[in-house]
Structure 1
Amino acid sequence: MDVQLRQLRAFVAVVDEGTFTDAAILLGVSQAAVSRSVAALETTLGTRLLDRSNQRVTLTGAGGRIVTRARRVLDEVDRLERIAQEARPELRVGYAYAALGKHTRHLMKAWAVAHPAVPLMFVQSNTPTAGLSEGIADIAVIRRTLADERFDMASVGCEARYAAVDTEHPLARRRSVRLEQLTRYTVAIDKRSGTTTPELWPATMRPQTRTVDGVDEWLTVIAGGQAIGVTAEATANQNPRPGVAYRLVTDAPRIDVRLAWWRDDPPPCLDTLLAMIRELYSAAPPGLPRQRVPMVVPPRARGRH
């Protein structure tokens, strides 16, 4: 049995419009074409669907039962067509804090030139998989251990660690800091997706911590002088905030930057994306431009000449 969609559409149009002539107008074809399609459908199904004895055609018993199912078939086909039209062949890259830092915009511009038919979209999700397991992203930027056999991972580069402090903090006047200098202060930690844990410090010198939820809260408590932070270089590049200064932590281990994707469903253009990101990381020197921090004048010194 070979039922064709044009036959079903012609049949339903005749039922809805009441005549072959009006059905032809609706479909934008000739009346003869509508007649042939309906006749072919009746031949294929082996039963009459329409009673043509009157000026206005009517459904036969079989036709009444079949037209309902024909409508369902056409509705499902219409849904499939809408999905196909609405679905853009985009590649969604998830991230929790900082995407790829200073490389993000360079990648987006280079990708748009090389792959104009596949838009590259960055989406933020403060989850351990940066939106991958939630279906928000096709591939995710990961900077912490992801022990999940559902995903494959590949390293694309590494980043230095930076301390984030209030601009009036004593450490803000330094060009760089060491881990031991941070231990006397409360450290803001995002346990869900952050890159810093107390284990960054030796067991004998671990600082007090304060749990935060996401990059905005993290920046807010730091700018307000309630805590300091330690983060990846990408965060410092992509999240400047008034009241927050970033300083290189010279003795902290670097952070491995990786991409993760579903093991059984790798995203399109994966190899190309990995190569482009690796090239960006290898070509650009690490580090941030020196930030100017206003000198805080002690109260007693003000007004003196």
Structure 2
Amino acid sequence: MPTFLRLCSGRMTVRIELRHLRCFLAIAEERNLTRAAARLHLTQPAVSRTLAALERHLGARLVDRSTHHLELTAEGRAFRERAAAALAAFDAAVDPARLRHRPLRLGHAWSAFGPYTTPLLRRWQREHPETPLELLRVDDRTAGLARGQVDAALLRGAVEAPGLVTAELTSEPRVAALPSDSPLADRPGPLSLRDLAGETVVLNTVSGTTALTLWPLPDRPVSALTVANTDDWLTAIAAGRGVGVSSASTAALHPHPGVTYRPLPDAPPLPVLLAWRDAFPHPATAALAAMAREIVRDA
């Protein structure tokens, strides 16, 4: 029997099944109806009809079909996050193994909980052996939280995503990341944002927190290189393609032979947050937040 959500409108009752969400997510990932149909073991007309039914119910166009490669509309991108979270929650709820020992999946985009990572993992294992804590790196601004890949996430900087709750745990000073052969790497004394203004800035636009707006307008760099994850960010800097700005935990947990980290005291500190979904949070989330705060306080 198909699982469905019975949703009411003013004139009629519409049945939206989980297959509608799975179909849409396959289209969103494949960007092609034929490939989505093959992945779902359906015909292309069946996939098109399922998508059309979902769009009629939502009263919004989710996919732009005007180009050779399908692209999500703004509404489609917003719905993708909700659909993925809903499916992940459903799959977790009906997984027999998770009913017995449901792990707490903790996402992070880079650097996890900084120097507190190991103390948190060790103490959690000691005090909550019945609930495994799984640390997962996901190169995403919400570290997989918005898509339902994790139950909670350690994030840095402000996060704007619907349905998320955040609690600030601590903050970290920022550092400049420089090619090791850069003159700035050997300059005595602390660096400032102005010292980096004439350089190309390497920006991780997928999971990073630094943007050109970090610099005041008179000193804002005019050249930037964008990358998609921390590994590519480090590689670009080591290759001399630019400089970067990150948190102190990056310097501690991501050393690189071609990158030199220097303090950047005039840059505002970066808040470290614990985030989780407001709807149906993992039962152990509150305990995790309390433990994380205690570890920071005791340190």
Q: With the length of structure 2 as denominator, give the TM-score of the two structures.
A: 0.64
Distance 1:114 1:185, change over 3 A: same
Q: Secondary structure at the match of 1:252?
A: coil
Aligned runs of 1:102-181 on 2, under 5 Å? Answer: 102-173=115-186, 174-181=188-195
Is the radius of gyration larger for structure 1 or structure 2?
1
Which residue in 1 is equivalent to 2:210?
196
Q: Give runs of ≥4 in structure 1 deviating > 6 Å.
A: none
2:197 aligns with 183
What's the offset of the Cα at 1:163? 0.7
C-alpha contact 1:161 1:252 (8 A) present in aligned 2 = yes
Instruction: Report how far residue 139 of structure 1 moved.
Output: 0.2
Contact preservation (8 Å) 1:94, 1:140:
yes
Q: Which structure 2 segments of 5+ residues have no match?
A: 1-92
2-structure distance, mates of 1:81, 1:185: 52
Quote how far apart the aligned CAs of 1:85 are: 7.0
Retained in 2: the 8 A contact 1:92–1:139? yes
Query: SS of the residue aligned with 2:283?
Result: coil
Provide Cα deviations, 1:251-289, integer angstroms capped at 9, x if missing partner: 0101111111110112222222112222333344xxxxx
1:271 aligns with 2:263: no
Equivalence map 1:194-273=2 (5 Å): 194-207=208-221, 208-273=223-288
Aligned residues: 205
Supply the AA of the counterpart residue of 1:282. Answer: R
Q: Deviations over 1:184-212 (max 9, x none)?
A: 11110012221100010011211121101
State the secondary structure of the residue aligned to 1:176.
coil
TM-score by length of 1: 0.63
Conserved in 2, the CA contact under 8 Å of 1:158 and 1:281? no
Give the distance between the partners of 1:268 and 1:85, measured in 2 at CA.
13
Deviation at 1:87, TM superposition (A): 6.1
Q: Is the 8 A contact 1:162 1:231 kept in 2?
A: yes
Contact 1:175–1:248 under 8 Å retained in 2: no
Provide closer, same or farther for how the CA distance between residues 279 and 170 of structure 1 changes in structure 2, counting only shifts above 3 A.
farther
CA distance in 1, matches of 2:94, 2:183: 62
Which stretches in structure 1 are left out of the alignment for 5+ residues? Answer: 1-79, 285-305
Name the SS of the counterpart of 2:249 in structure 1.
helix
Secondary structure, counterpart of 2:136 in structure 1: strand
Aligned-partner SS, 1:156: strand
CA contact (8 A) 1:175 1:247 kept: no
User: What amino acid does structure 1 have at the position aligned with 2:258?
Assistant: G
Label 1:81 to 1:211 Cα distance change in 2 as closer, same or farther (>3 A). Answer: closer
Q: Is the 2:164–2:277 contact (alpha carbons within 8 Å) kept by the matching residues of 1?
A: yes
Q: How big is each residue's C-alpha offset from its partner over 1:121-173, in whole Å with a ceiling of 9 and x where there is no partner?
A: 11111112111122221001121322223111111111100111112222222
Deviation at 1:84, TM superposition (A): 3.2
Q: Distance in 1 between matches of 2:99 and 2:280?
A: 21
State the partner residue of 1:90.
103
Distance 2:131 2:228 in 1: 33
Q: Which amino acid aligns with 2:232?
A: E
- The one-letter amino acid of 1:180's match is R
